[in-house]
Amino acid sequence: MFRVNSGEEKFSHPHDTITSGALRFSVEIIAWVAGSWYVSSVSYWLVVPTLVILVGFPAIFSTINDKRHVVIPTRGSMRVLIELILTIVALVAPWFVWPSIYSSFTSVVVIISLLVGAPRFWWLLKGAPST
């Protein structure tokens, strides 16, 4: 079920700042591009399923009070697992498909994202609600 914000109140999250959200989105984009690029070197047939997983899982499985729109409510630990998978892909895949200078830059972005997003991760792991 969709949980839709009525638009009357502003959505705010004490552990999710504009900076942490922007960095997390950057990590997602790096994972989408570099992950599918790497998979395409193995088999073009794997690109679509890879993108469905890398884009679909974070979009569908969310924790209540963490996202504005929740399609399928999940526990905070599950959300952290999904985001850690994206983070690992964003950290490893660029080293296989891009020159070292770009891979180094993406690694720095991922590490900064982890540091800035740590309060949110701990909040999710400490029992963010699933319903």
> Is 83 a domain residue?
yes
- pLDDT tens per residue across span 39-72: 999 999 999 999 999 999 988 887 776 666 778 8
Domain count, the chain: 1
Residue 119 covered by a domain: yes
Coil, helix or strand at residue 65 = coil
Alpha-carbon span 62 to 70, nearest angstrom: 5
pTM: 0.82
For residues 43 and 131, give the distance between their C-alpha atoms in angstroms, rounded to a whole number.
39
Task: Please indicate, yes or no, if residue 1 is contained in any of the structural domains.
Answer: no
pLDDT per position as a tens digit, 86-103:
999 999 999 999 999 999
Question: How would residue 10 be classed by pLDDT, with cut points 50, 70 and 90?
Answer: low
Structural domain of 67: 19-125
Q: Which residue type does 103 have?
A: S
Is 3 a domain residue?
A: no
Residue 64 lies in a domain: yes
Q: Is position 14 within any domain?
A: no
